[in-house]
Copies of this chain bind each other. A is one copy, B any other.
Amino acid sequence: MSCCVLTAPLNIKQSERLAEKLKSLADPVRLRLLSIVATAHTGEVCACDFLGKLEKSQPTISHHPSQLVKAGILSRKQRGKWAWYRLADGLCDVREALGEGCC
C-alpha cells in the first residue's frame, strides 16, 4: 500500500477507500462484534453467538457482520446452517493507513 496519512496527503480516491473501511468500524455494535471475533480462542465465532451477547434483534445482528465483511474486516464461511466469522486483513490495512509504525 504505502499510502498512509503520515507520509503524504491523500488524494480523493485514497481518502474515499479508507473512509469506507473506517465507516464500517465506526459503530459500537460492530466494534463489539469485531472484538468478540478477534478474541475468540478458536479464531472464529458462529453468528448465533452474537444474538446472546449483543442485545439487538436478529436482523440487526445479521446486518452488522455483513458490513464488516464487505469492508474486508471480517471473512464469512458457511458451515451447514451456521455462519462463521473470522478476522480478515482489513484491520491491519486500516492500522497501516493510519500510520502504524511511523509514530
CA distance A94 to B99 in the complex (A): 11
Q: Identify which of B6, B19, B38 contacts A5 (C-beta below 8 A).
A: B38
Interface size class of A (residues with CB under 8 A): 35 or more
Q: Are A32 and B6 in contact (CB under 8 A)?
A: no
Q: Give the Cβ gap from A53 to chain B, nearest Cβ, in Å.
A: 8
Q: Are A99 and B38 in contact (CB under 8 A)?
A: yes
Most buried by B among A7, A31, A91, A92: A31
Within 8 Å of chain B (Cβ to Cβ): is A83? no
Chain B residues near A23: list those with CB within 8 A: 23, 26
Q: Are B19 and A27 in contact (CB under 8 A)?
A: yes
Q: Are A35 and B10 in contact (CB under 8 A)?
A: yes
